[in-house]
Amino acid sequence: MITQQSGPRPADVADVRTTNLVVVLRFVRAHAPCSRADVAAATGLTKATVSSLVADLLDRRLLRETGVTENRIGRPATMLEVDGSPYAAIGMEINADYLTAVAMDVGGTRLLSWRRAFDGTAGPASGTAALAALARRVIARLRADGRGVLGVTVGVPGLVDAAGVVHLAPNLRWQDVDLRADLHHALGGAFDVLVDNDANLGVAAEYRYGPHAGTPDLVYLTGEVGIGAGIIAEGRLLRGSRGYSGEIGHVPVVPDGPPCGCGRRGCLEAVVGLGALIGGPPPTPEHLTSAVRDLVTRAGADDRHVLEALDLAGDRLGRGLSVLANLLNPETIVLGGYYVPLAPWLLPSARAALRSGVLAPDSGGTLLAASTLGHSAAALGGAARVIDLVDAGRIPLLDPA
Amino acid sequence: MITQQSGPRPADVADVRTTNLVVVLRFVRAHAPCSRADVAAATGLTKATVSSLVADLLDRRLLRETGVTENRIGRPATMLEVDGSPYAAIGMEINADYLTAVAMDVGGTRLLSWRRAFDGTAGPASGTAALAALARRVIARLRADGRGVLGVTVGVPGLVDAAGVVHLAPNLRWQDVDLRADLHHALGGAFDVLVDNDANLGVAAEYRYGPHAGTPDLVYLTGEVGIGAGIIAEGRLLRGSRGYSGEIGHVPVVPDGPPCGCGRRGCLEAVVGLGALIGGPPPTPEHLTSAVRDLVTRAGADDRHVLEALDLAGDRLGRGLSVLANLLNPETIVLGGYYVPLAPWLLPSARAALRSGVLAPDSGGTLLAASTLGHSAAALGGAARVIDLVDAGRIPLLDPA
């Protein structure tokens, strides 16, 4: 059980000691194993200050001594590394057909990864209650393992403002839901709760943990019942003026095409979203995963009807993405969600359509690839967001009890 | 006549004295009138160092003494301000139907603004020669006024890489033209020559000089024979991985629509570019301006045919822009070029189409406005780019001769 330092938001951190704690923590993370003397030499802090800060971080169990000492000129130095194992960050995602939860320790080790079918279209009260219930189960598990929980970030497929209010999530049928406040309340007010768009969290996870990590101009496409893009430009998340960027799902692709959850027709997600890929009447959440598995099986068995449908879907997806590539010229676009198992059949025609739709030769260099993070991307990015709070100055305090 | 410090590119500036000269120059620009003591107090440089740096900047005529002294405790202080009048920066633009040139002094005062009809489609050799000839006339005029020329930036409607090579400019019919090297050579190698996309320079001008200056998420749309977008996100130009961002002109708007200069059909610029607005066979460059003037006259006289055509064009423009607004959620989109005189008739239907095409309520807050910089935007942004080089450490030296 831990408590958190309350008070100012990360950007306002003015407390010199907190700032110095973060400086030391970051240095050790980047340079471990290293000694107190190394920290002092690199940071310009006095050795006495560093000793005091390190003692504090050892108490909080954010650092630990490796047990190894290094013999240098003078006294042997005890080496330090980041511990972080006593603390866990939780990332969750709600989508039209499932909930996910991921927990990571401060060192970035994944502690658990859960997914379950859920009818996300049953309204905000049901969705919030289900998220809170799942969060409580995760928290109980983490505590049983002796870990303190730092906070929870939830990804939502829709327009989320900076305060964590979901203004519109067509595929959940949510409008103006203050999810951050509701969930904070439902969890007893004990944790930081953050809410962001699922694609924004997905691209953050790809930027950090995916095979394209560190690509400065990176786009992540959620391949779910809805489709959204998370955009990183020159290493920074592009949010737009109100936080509503990335709505590629509502680019018109087929004039007078099938109706879309947003009320328009022929939008990208209406023609290549999961519902369109599966066809027929909207299946229940439980059936979506098996319907995709069935598609994969039939495509693998060269079912001509399925191969043609996926080829056409890839072409339309590529046409929609060419609009994004013409505007943003990213280095890589990563396809996530249900597109991952279907990628072998979607990618060829999608890449061809991208090449033909982008003005710059060779698609302007934009590569199209399938994610390796699967349905966990948004939740992983959410957990990472919580861990980032520590680096931003929200140093956790282990409760003495 | 001046020479320039040669050597490292701005980002590599390592020379401490140059860095300090820039620090002093920037401080005085931001806080003029101010004294040497003010500079020393704010920058942490010693008074002796500041006196020496200021003497250098006075010699180079980048600073001047205002003649006013301020009586404070102790000795009266002589006040300083930025001079910059002896130096001029040149911005130019080549488009399908015209050339423009703008000159500004380092203080940001516009010294001249020229525009002339030109057939930009006659090939790169003709275009480069015309740009060089126009640059020479501007340089001669500036020198006759006793000014030294810092450099030239040229805006081109197409894909320009970081080295200043124009890879593709469909409406000029250019491909792989090393305009930077060619123009540098044509001007005798005496100046910095920079080349960038016209929309990138246009948005830089709007961000600096337009009524929406400082808007962190700002888009500028060139309204010419072609259409391109310059994108500023969180105060930074969004270039993409190879510099090919902003190609909104080739978003498909009308399926199987009219052919576009890029070889595709129904692109945004094929249906609402200048050629489409005027209709009929492609007019000569000299006739384009008068054709637009004629449209404005007829629209002003409530010519039903023209009003309907502009209403439809505004609708299609708004539909194309809604794709951009869904992806980027900018605060403001500024319409430039020929759209400025036509704005009164384009904006109503364009705004309505934007509202209906953007997923977020109220267009996600994105405003649509007409530029006040007219056809000078790209050239203005180009001149500003040259002035920025001074701040980046390319301190000019007045030639003693």
Predicted confidence (pLDDT) per residue in B39-90, tens digit: 999 988 999 999 999 999 999 889 999 887 776 666 678 899 988 889 999 9
Q: What confidence tens digit (pLDDT) does each residue in A310-369 have?
A: 999 999 999 999 999 999 999 999 999 999 999 999 999 999 999 999 999 999 999 999
Confidence at residue A69, expressed as pLDDT on a 0 to 100 scale:
76
Distance from A177 to chain B by nearest Cα, in Å?
15
The interface predicted TM-score (ipTM) is 0.89
Confidence at residue B397, expressed as pLDDT on a 0 to 100 scale:
67
Nearest to A247 by CA among A307, A189, A324, A177: A324
**Cβ distance of B245 and A331 shorter than 8 Å:** no
When pLDDT is cut at 50, 70 and 90, the band that residue A71 belongs to is low
| pLDDT at A10 exceeding the cut of 60 | no
Point out which residues pair with A368 in neighbouring strands: A333
Provide, as residue numbers in chain A, all residues whose Cβ is less than 8 Å from the Cβ of B361: 167-168
Distance CA A2, CA B316 (A): 57
- Three-state DSSP state, A142: helix
**Cβ distance of B217 and A326 shorter than 8 Å:** no
Between A22-26, A294-298, B33-37, B285-289, the lowest mean confidence (pLDDT) is in B285-289
- As a whole number, mean pLDDT of residues A188-199 equals 92
- Three-state DSSP state, A382: helix
Nearest to A366 by CA among A212, A205, A252: A212
User: ∠ at Cα A118 (A309, A87), nearest 5°?
Assistant: 115
Confidence at residue B366, expressed as pLDDT on a 0 to 100 scale:
98
Distance from A120 to chain B by nearest Cα, in Å?
20
On the 0-12 / 13-18 / 19+ scale of CB atoms within 10 A, A263 is exposed
Distance CA B115, CA B199 (A): 17
Distance CA B304, CA B316 (A): 18
When pLDDT is cut at 50, 70 and 90, the band that residue B107 belongs to is confident
Tell me which DSSP letter residue A252 carries.
Answer: B
CB proximity list for B16: less than 8 A, separation 6 or greater: none
Confidence at residue B12, expressed as pLDDT on a 0 to 100 scale:
41
CB proximity list for B26: less than 8 A, separation 6 or greater: B391
Question: Nearest CB to A365: which of B242, B331, B366?
Answer: B242
Provide, as residue numbers in chain A, all residues whose Cβ is less than 8 Å from the Cβ of B331: 241
When pLDDT is cut at 50, 70 and 90, the band that residue B138 belongs to is very high
**A170 close to B (CB below 8 A):** yes
CB proximity list for B374: less than 8 A, separation 6 or greater: B336, B337, B340
Nearest to A217 by CA among A205, A227, A203, A228: A203
- As a whole number, mean pLDDT of residues A382-392 equals 89
Confidence at residue B14, expressed as pLDDT on a 0 to 100 scale:
47
- As a whole number, mean pLDDT of residues B134-155 equals 95
The H-or-E segment that residue A119 falls in is none
Confidence at residue A2, expressed as pLDDT on a 0 to 100 scale:
47
Residue ranges and CATH numbers for the domains of chain B are 2-82 (1.10.10.10), 87-201+378-398 (3.30.420.40), 213-372 (3.30.420.40)
Distance CA A7, CA A13 (A): 9
| pLDDT at A113 exceeding the cut of 60 | yes
For CA atoms A35, A40, A43, A45, give the dihedral sign.
positive
* Most trustworthy range by pLDDT among A102-111, B22-31, B178-187: B178-187
Q: Say which residue the tokens 């866990």 belong to.
A: A88
| pLDDT at B10 exceeding the cut of 70 | no
Between A303-307, A353-357, B70-74, B348-352, the lowest mean confidence (pLDDT) is in B70-74
CA B388 to chain centre: 12
**Residue B27: how many CA atoms within 13 Å on its side-chain side?**
24
State how far the alpha carbon of A120 is from the alpha carbons of A127, A131, A226, A287, B86, in Å: 6, 10, 12, 14, 67
Nearest to B89 by CA among B121, B112, B56: B112
Mean pLDDT of chain B: 90
Between B116 and A15, where is the model more confident? B116
Query: Which one of A175, A241, A363 would you mutate to disrupt binding with B, by most B Cβ within 10 Å of its Cβ?
Result: A241
Confidence at residue B398, expressed as pLDDT on a 0 to 100 scale:
59
On the 0-12 / 13-18 / 19+ scale of CB atoms within 10 A, A293 is exposed
- Three-state DSSP state, B60: coil
Distance CA B275, CA A145 (A): 69
